[in-house]
Chain A
Amino acid sequence: MAKKLMKGAEAIGEAAVKAGCRLFFGYPITPQNEIPEYLSHRLPQVGGTFVQAESEVAASNMLYGAAGTGERVFTSSSSPGISLMQEAISYMAGSQLPVVIVNIMRAGPGLGGILPAQGDYLQSTKGGGHGDYRVLVLAPNSVQEAADLVIEAFDLADYYRNPVLVVGDGLIGQMMEPVEFKEDYEPVRPLPPKLWASTGHRGGDKPRAIINSLFLDPEELERHNQVLQAKYAEMEKREIRYQGYGLDGDYDLLIVAYGTVARVCQTAMEDLEAEGYKVAMLRPISLYPFPTAAVREAAERASNVLVVELSAGQMIEDVRLAVEGRRPIHFHGRTGGMLATPEEIADKVRRIVGNRGGES
């Protein structure tokens, strides 16, 4: 298929269709309305079903129901709507259901604003809903990567029987960039048949399917939690993704940033390189599991670490855990929908490298 110029939101919707998803349950919220709007006419074209639910609470529970039948299901929302979905996500994780959710983050807290932000990192990676569970979190930084990760997310969700969250921000949702979809979609790894799905019990050896997360007996619930934790341990071994920029060479300062912020940092790095500064960057693509070991190794080869986020500092906590105090960690963040500029980031780098030591 040729490259096509597509809006991020539409590319994400088309990616879901390419992955074989035929069910979307969602609700309008700025800045991701183009995803349900695109799917409302695309899904009927491929024999799929589009439902505009009455709220995100309803949409996430519709997702939970449809996922229980073994079908690939998809929703998208933005920060306040994702907050409403947290209860259902906890249920999905507890019931071990595969679901793909896209969060086009916007500035918060509360009603906040509609401009891009990265203030949902903690919500996405550290829980969000109640109980001991994790969701796999992937963060693209371009429209093409968003499309690729959404397609892969369906495979990961089916493989782990877990919700997978793809977090973009308003920039990814609204940008138009060239996108290429592979002609024939194939899952990246063999997926087991969904014998657990509730599709009607016809007797025989297969037990009745009961999709639930309720286990009143504490010993049984503990065993269930151990099953979930074993899954997350496997995720932490196999699903670490990140991209390095200049990590092979010598560098003085390591930038850690994800999503579109990393692209802004790239511009700053180009300017700094021209001035003779040696800066490298590690861009986590999987936010859970966080590339802890990679960040630690990369940080050891630098004298300082700079974390750049469109938040008041959320991923920096994971960076601190990874670096274990071996290097000073600095932070540059913008909130409210303000974007960090390459000039600001370059300035910060110059001040850090100039000062040599102490955190800021």
Chain B
Amino acid sequence: MIHTVFEKPESLADVVTHYCPGCTHGVIHRLVGEVLDELSIRERTVGIAPVGCSVLAYNYFETDFHEASHGRAPAVATGIKRARPDLIVFSYQGDGDLASIGMGEVIHCANRGEKITIIFVNNAIYGMTGGQMAPTTMPDQVATTCPMGRDVNQAGWPIRMAELLSALRTPAYIARASVHSPLHVVEAKRMIRQAFQYQVADTCFSMVELLSTCPTNWGLPPNEADRWLEENMLPYYPLGVFKTPDGADRAPRPLPVDQS
């Protein structure tokens, strides 16, 4: 008797992806596919593909899809969800798409509390366009538009999207995970499942930020890229759940008078 206990989820298309060897997009795609299978929502799910390496995400999932222009996926998601609230809507965005050009869209989508799920792939660089600096690029990290390393005096510090969005008053589920090691992958899937479950229950906006690697543009082999993420990104981007839809107000308070 042979049982298959691990195989490709049905929500994932039976194609080989165009992603680079070792690119963690593939892991995240599989986690989303597994969650769609487990929650049995594949047939009413619509995904939104961004501009970025995952621009062809619609070739990899067995669901309906919309393409969004760069950064506008949360707005497109809002349109779809308001038109058809019975659909499960998720957007899949990179750090340029979400934290750079799409910053306005994601903040307002989260603030309005649109009941969609955003899968945010943070690999600290622009992948598809060839390795330019991203808003999440680490200080001193080399990219093609900061060839001397990111200078925080010129370009500022990297943006922590999970923390930023969790300061909004509107209830939401905001979490950050990593996919650089299999044990972290398990935790990432738990958060992705929780995010989609909130949407299925029509509770709130949900976003899971996933720290990911870009071996090609970081200039490192995949296993070294995983270690680079662990040493450089984990200390700055803490993992965990930042906000649950319990209604608590998590905005920072003003500094005490003697410190301001």
Answer yes or no: A and B touching, Cβ < 8 Å.
yes
Chain A contacts to B: CB under 8 angstroms: 27-30, 33, 36-37, 40-41, 44, 50-52, 54-57, 80, 110-111
Nearest-CB residue, chain A, relative to B55: A111
A52 to B150, CA, bound (A): 11
State how many angstroms separate the Cβ of B75 from the closest Cβ of chain A. 13
A10 to B154, CA, bound (A): 23
Task: Name the contact of B132 in the complex, choosing from A37, A54, A110 (C-beta under 8 A).
Answer: A37
Task: Name the contact of A55 in the complex, choosing from B67, B71, B154 (C-beta under 8 A).
Answer: B71
Nearest-CB residue, chain B, relative to A57: B101
B110 within 8 A of A: no
Known: A28-B132, A54-B101. A111 touches B67 (CB 8 A): yes
- Chain A residue numbers with a CB within 8 Å of B195 are none
A57 to B71, CA, bound (A): 12
B146 within 8 A of A: yes
State how many angstroms separate the Cβ of B72 from the closest Cβ of chain A. 10
Report yes or no: B129 in contact with A80, Cβ–Cβ below 8 A: no
State how many angstroms separate the Cβ of A129 from the closest Cβ of chain B. 18
Known: A40-B144, A40-B147, A111-B69. A27 touches B101 (CB 8 A): yes
Report yes or no: B144 in contact with A33, Cβ–Cβ below 8 A: yes
B70 within 8 A of A: yes
Task: Name the contact of B135 in the complex, choosing from A40, A51, A54 (C-beta under 8 A).
Answer: A54
Report yes or no: A40 in contact with B100, Cβ–Cβ below 8 A: no
Report yes or no: A54 in contact with B145, Cβ–Cβ below 8 A: no
A36 to B144, CA, bound (A): 9
Task: Name the contact of A40 in the complex, choosing from B69, B101, B146 (C-beta under 8 A).
Answer: B146
- Chain A residue numbers with a CB within 8 Å of B146 are 40, 52
A15 to B69, CA, bound (A): 31
B155 within 8 A of A: yes
- Chain A residue numbers with a CB within 8 Å of B101 are 27, 54-57
- Chain B residue numbers with a CB within 8 Å of A55 are 70-71, 100-101
Q: Which of B116-147 contact A (CB under 8 A)?
A: 126, 128-130, 132-133, 135, 144-147
Q: Mind listing 24 A-B residue pairs with CB under 8 Å?
A: A28-B96, A28-B129, A28-B130, A28-B132, A29-B129, A30-B128, A33-B130, A33-B132, A33-B144, A36-B145, A37-B132, A37-B144, A37-B147, A40-B147, A41-B147, A41-B148, A50-B145, A52-B132, A54-B135, A55-B100, A56-B101, A80-B70, A110-B69, A111-B69
State how many angstroms separate the Cβ of A55 from the closest Cβ of chain B. 4
- Chain B residue numbers with a CB within 8 Å of A54 are 100-101, 103, 135
B51 within 8 A of A: yes
The A/B interface has a contact count, at CB < 8 Å, of: 55
Nearest-CB residue, chain A, relative to B129: A28
Report yes or no: B55 in contact with A40, Cβ–Cβ below 8 A: no
Report yes or no: A28 in contact with B145, Cβ–Cβ below 8 A: yes
Chain B contacts to A: CB under 8 angstroms: 51, 55, 67, 69-71, 96, 100-101, 103, 126, 128-130, 132-133, 135, 144-148, 154-155
- Chain A residue numbers with a CB within 8 Å of B147 are 37, 40-41
- Chain B residue numbers with a CB within 8 Å of A41 are 147-148
State how many angstroms separate the Cβ of A24 from the closest Cβ of chain B. 10
State how many angstroms separate the Cβ of A337 from the closest Cβ of chain B. 16
**Would you call the interface of chain B mostly helix, strand, loop, or mixed?**
loop
Report yes or no: A52 in contact with B155, Cβ–Cβ below 8 A: yes
Task: Name the contact of A30 in the complex, choosing from B71, B96, B100, B129 (C-beta under 8 A).
Answer: B129
- Chain B residue numbers with a CB within 8 Å of A37 are 130, 132, 144-145, 147
State how many angstroms separate the Cβ of A189 from the closest Cβ of chain B. 34
Known: A37-B132, A41-B148, A52-B133. A28 touches B126 (CB 8 A): yes
Nearest-CB residue, chain A, relative to B101: A55
Could you list 6 further interchain pairs (A-B, Cβ under 8 angstroms) beyond the known A28-B145, A29-B129, A37-B147? Answer: A37-B132, A40-B146, A41-B147, A52-B132, A52-B133, A110-B67
A41 to B146, CA, bound (A): 7
State how many angstroms separate the Cβ of A7 from the closest Cβ of chain B. 13
- Chain A residue numbers with a CB within 8 Å of B103 are 54
Rank and list the top 5 A-B pairs by shortest CB-CB distance, nearest first.
Answer: A55-B101, A28-B129, A40-B145, A28-B132, A37-B144
Nearest-CB residue, chain B, relative to A54: B100
A192 to B172, CA, bound (A): 57
- Chain B residue numbers with a CB within 8 Å of A28 are 96, 126, 129-130, 132, 145
Nearest-CB residue, chain A, relative to B135: A54
State how many angstroms separate the Cβ of B141 from the closest Cβ of chain A. 14
- Chain A residue numbers with a CB within 8 Å of B145 are 28, 36-37, 40, 50, 52
Nearest-CB residue, chain A, relative to B151: A44
A28 to B125, CA, bound (A): 12
- Chain A residue numbers with a CB within 8 Å of B133 are 52
A33 to B145, CA, bound (A): 9
Give the most central of B70, B71, B96, B148: most A CB within 10 Å. B70
A297 to B96, CA, bound (A): 50
Task: Name the contact of A80 in the complex, choosing from B69, B135, B154 (C-beta under 8 A).
Answer: B69
State how many angstroms separate the Cβ of A203 from the closest Cβ of chain B. 34
- Chain A residue numbers with a CB within 8 Å of B51 are 111
A229 to B88, CA, bound (A): 52
Nearest-CB residue, chain A, relative to B102: A55
State how many angstroms separate the Cβ of A84 from the closest Cβ of chain B. 8
A136 to B147, CA, bound (A): 34
